[in-house]
A and B are shown apart, each in its own frame.
Chain A
């Protein structure tokens, strides 16, 4: 049987092979076609493609461990070895390029024996406490052991014990569980340019650690959680807080309120067997009501509110020749990155709080008054695609209401655990609604979850206001700004604001952000407005989202959000009637004194903030 190339050739897509042989697509520079044999089948591949990718496309899944689409390939774990005729040893398929006439066998006794030995050695140094592990049942090491049929522990190895690090408000590291695959090191250094995690020592003492084995809280970690998202085992994960939420719900003295970020609805279904790329907004609202929350609100309301404030700020800065470019501040991982590595840009950051914190402030003031509940009695929970939101909620200045505005920030993964623990099957739930008034939102809020979404939402509103057509009706200005959508790390566009052309840029992933900022610093680029998200692809690929090895996952989840946006009746933030009422009844107008007190914040360079004393690695 022939396995030919698919029409469009994504770099790492294990897509099913088409039945008929096709010529390479008519791209600018079509790659040369290479013909090889994999397990007796003729397979076509592009020159430069790896044996792993060619095999997966041909329907032969080779197991992997150190390879992950988010961080590339280094061929260090040797789990993906195969037999290649003429090769002296068993090459790692993830880094071996295909060649004409190559004969590959992926499942021979020698290959199975080599893979099994590699995994057995990993298991020898790995604690066997799976029952208590957060990853139990969803662990790549467990999957490998199962797939390779490992039933006995042949090897035993002494491994130096290293302390659990629970110093960070967002992440917990358990070095004893680490299998040294290096995914976190690569994502932290190469993708995010943060450079906190690295390999240290050598041989049996090797470990992954921040400098001088400090706790994460003492390091330059920005809490983005990309390390936790790519970790194949339970060595890095979010600090779990969902049991505190259960306790609060069970406490009759507390009024427990929840808000859910847009990206959560685009991904949480995956944890319940719903195909990736399905938004489960209605089911999610029902699940939250059934969990017993007293009010179920939508962070998209906060997103609309952010656009009102930030749009106002942008127009003000352009008009008064203030500091430009204005840079978004919705992503707390990015804000921390800026404070730590690019303090000279702090004046460019929007003074707006993130949607989570705007919601938090409004819930314990405006809503508290409306509902007749004292702020002290409100327990405010957020569900975020993010680990940095835990850190943000814990920042000492985030108490506009007089008490801590957001009491607990959960990740998408934690909410899935909470729903499962309650015995609720999300997939089978009927659609429900978010509660008024803070559950009312527009499509502009929805797309906040994808990279470029904040920019597009802002442009939708600002272009109308600048054109002096503040719509009650709508339809006047441009609605979809396709030029700022997409998954490229850095994108540029121009937009028309009331006759004035404004230059905008969008970056996702902190490495891309660093490159963009360096260009601005060097005077090689200048913009009026810049959107930066800490995670590559934006919140849909946040550090708190369900883990996935699908290279297309960001695109699928983003597509779900853009589809939701098209379904919404109102798609511009200033058309949100609940937000309008909030201004009429409480805030006055965007940028007012009350708005500034509740919805805006200030930043300090990390140098100015003394690191928290005595927070080294104390176990919880």
Chain B
């Protein structure tokens, strides 16, 4: 981390209210501005502070809040719960549920189970990597898609299968990939805007 980044991080941390300060005053938002996630994090920590073994629930809620578990969030949790930073990092990296890097808006799951594999899943995966410009676990530059490989989605009759969000795409061919992604982004972005 560069000195500038550190300074920026510090500044951000200082803006966030301390535990106990959140929710004071008469304002309806109770100190929780939409982007004041650090204040909410402090509330989460305060809620769990006196419960032994509460690290995993706190990490879980923090990930829901931030989308992943960046370093400053983990440091804040360690300080707040009185747990060594090394332990927080150890737990965050042990469970595949937790992610250190931001995830995209939608997750693309490519099935690499036996049936999908023999029906050409590897070529689909390559096409996805090329189209999104990332490796497995990576997120596209526009922040929309995170690429994941899974073992079996239980839809072997439809092999090869790709899932984006909750939508299943059956008998996918590598050349379909660009259109699938573009269509998915188009429909779901407009859905999000409409709602």
Contacts and interface: CB of A to CB of B under 8 A. Distances in A.
Interface string B141-162: 0000000000000000000000
Interface in A586-620: 610-611, 613-614, 616
A289 interface: no
B89 A212 contact: yes
A200 interface: yes
Given A200-B93, A201-B93, A185 B86 contact: yes
Given A201-B93, A201-B94, A218-B1, A196 B6 contact: no
Contacts of B2: 613-614
A248 B75 CA distance: 43
Contacts of A610: 3, 6-7
A195 B85 contact: yes
Contacts of B84: 189, 194-196, 198
Given A202-B94, A211-B71, A211-B74, A197 B3 contact: no
B86 A188 contact: yes
A189 B3 contact: no
Interface of A is mostly: loop
Nearest to B75: A211
A211 B3 contact: no
22 contacts: A189-B84, A189-B87, A195-B85, A195-B86, A195-B87, A196-B84, A198-B84, A198-B86, A198-B87, A198-B90, A200-B93, A200-B94, A211-B71, A211-B74, A211-B85, A211-B89, A212-B74, A220-B85, A610-B7, A611-B1, A611-B6, A614-B2
A212 B90 contact: no
Interface in A210-248: 210-212, 218, 220
Nearest to B2: A613
Contacts of B85: 195-196, 198, 210-211, 220
B164 interface: no
A211 to B, nearest CB: 4
Size bin of chain A's contact surface: 20 to 34
B88 interface: yes
Given A201-B94, A212-B71, A218-B1, A189 B7 contact: no
A185 B89 CA distance: 13
Nearest to B89: A211
Contacts of B94: 200-202
A210 B71 CA distance: 12
Interface string B63-83: 000000001001100100000
A198 B84 CA distance: 9
A198 B6 contact: no
B89 A189 contact: no
A276 to B, nearest CB: 32
Interface in B1-36: 1-3, 6-7
A199 interface: yes
Most chain B CB within 10 A, of A195, A211, A611, is at: A211
A202 B100 CA distance: 15
Given A196-B85, A198-B85, A200-B89, 8 more contacts: A198-B84, A198-B90, A209-B86, A212-B89, A218-B1, A610-B3, A613-B6, A616-B1
Nearest to B70: A212
